Chains A and B, each alone.
Chain A
């Protein structure tokens, strides 16, 4: 079973920031938070991951709360091409289970012109 809870859908105006929340209250100390997205009719795509510090890359920013029980993926300036299903996944960085991605239902983000 997926260890995360996400809202089923969200809308965001084009050009605005999209903030996608994720709850992972049972996360363990050796588990990272990963985000993937799946654009319609394509395979999932890695976005970003983090342990406890905030992370930023060319695609997005990841904010993890101090207790690590929740996180937020931020797309700073959403475009129509960001319309996709976004999956929040927790997995250990090494050892047993580290190579398995367990996908939940994700959040369907619709970017509106």
Chain B
């Protein structure tokens, strides 16, 4: 298994531009999570899905952020318009509902820089 796949690995954009981050979870996993990591705030859960349905988006910072999961093998996190304070590493993770440890498997992350 290739694990959780995220793209792009690095993204540099200018303030005001739209940014789309992509995630492919591990095949068969029921849950998908989006996290953001910054030096100031550490790792924060933004939103998570169960069977493609958003369950809790209370961590999404503001309306500029949106996430979708059109099918079991793909999710996007979109920022429109982007701002410099959105610069962070964004991680996607997936887990299996019936997994022995409810373990979350993390992708390598997307490092976003907004100039």
Contact = CB atoms under 8 A, between A and B. Distances in A.
A43 B108 contact: yes
Interface string A21-53: 000000000000000000001111110010000
A45 B101 CA distance: 13
B59 to A, nearest CB: 9
B6 to A, nearest CB: 9
Chain B: interface size category: 20 to 34
Contacts of A104: 42
Given A46-B101, A99-B95, A100-B48, A105 B42 contact: yes
B42 A101 contact: no
Contacts of A43: 4, 91, 93, 106-109
Contacts of B43: 44, 87, 101, 103
A9 interface: no
B102 A42 contact: no
A100 B45 contact: yes
A98 interface: yes
Interface residues of A, number: 18
A102 B45 contact: yes
30 contacts: A41-B109, A42-B108, A42-B109, A43-B4, A43-B91, A43-B106, A43-B108, A43-B109, A44-B91, A44-B93, A44-B104, A44-B106, A45-B106, A46-B101, A46-B104, A46-B105, A98-B102, A99-B48, A99-B95, A99-B102, A100-B45, A100-B48, A101-B33, A101-B43, A101-B104, A102-B45, A103-B43, A104-B42, A105-B42, A106-B42
Contacts, number: 46
A103 B41 CA distance: 10
Interface in B74-93: 91, 93
Contacts of A100: 45, 48, 56
B54 to A, nearest CB: 13
A103 B91 CA distance: 13
Contacts of A93: 102
